[in-house]
Amino acid sequence: MESVLKKIHSLAIQVIFRVLNGHQRPKASEVLSCHLRQRNLPYWTSYFLPYRDVENDQFAMSHFNWEVDGTNYHILRTGCFPYIKYHCSKAPRTNLTLEDNFFKVVKGINLGIPCFLYGISAIFLIKAKEIVKTAHGDIVIYFLIQEDKSAMF
């Protein structure tokens, strides 16, 4: 319990410091694009992005196409407080409207409770991190396991 309180205290101090210093946060979409570029457009990646570090410009987007430097990705995205979870797979552009709407309905029906529990459990399960360089400064993203950067699956 004490370690949880220390983490919460540390997060609160970081947020207050950023607000007082007028730190402009990058958009979540910028971090997404920068991460994919930094990884040399991998086949896939899956990471957690802290809400506190970004402007959430992809709110309510659950399954969508995202193009970076001519390469298309299918993005599965969900809010799992205190993180935004991204799963990115290189794939041809397709219409993902049906899947996107399906995920939105499922999240609405279950009131987001499973996503919230996933985020809280991720605090304790995260084992790796990486720094993503953005125009607004460095952002740390987190992984449940260290990814093999050349893996296809």
Q: Each residue's pLDDT tens digit in the chain (153 positions)?
A: 666 666 666 665 665 655 555 568 999 999 999 999 999 999 999 999 999 999 999 998 999 999 999 999 999 999 999 999 999 999 999 999 999 999 999 999 999 899 899 999 999 999 999 999 999 999 999 999 887 766 665
In a domain, 78, yes or no: yes
> 36 is in which domain, residue-wise?
26-143
In a domain, 34, yes or no: yes
In a domain, 7, yes or no: no
In a domain, 149, yes or no: no
In a domain, 42, yes or no: yes
Q: pTM for the complete prediction?
A: 0.80
- Integer-rounded Cα radius of gyration of the chain: 16
Strands (DSSP E) contained in the chain are 44-50, 63-68, 71-80, 83-90, 128-134, 137-143
In a domain, 137, yes or no: yes
Q: Which of 102, 96, 97, 104 is nearest to 79 (CA)?
A: 104
Amino acid identity, position 81: F
In a domain, 5, yes or no: no
pLDDT at residue 89 in the model = 96
Report how many domains make up the chain. Answer: 1
In a domain, 17, yes or no: no
CB 65 within 8 A of CB 75: yes
| Residues constituting the chain | 153
| Alpha-carbon gap, residue 48 to 77, rounded angstroms | 10
Encode burial over 103-125: b for 16+ CB neighbours within 10 A, e otherwise.
Answer: beeebeeeebeebeebbeebbee
Which residues face 131 on adjacent strands? 140
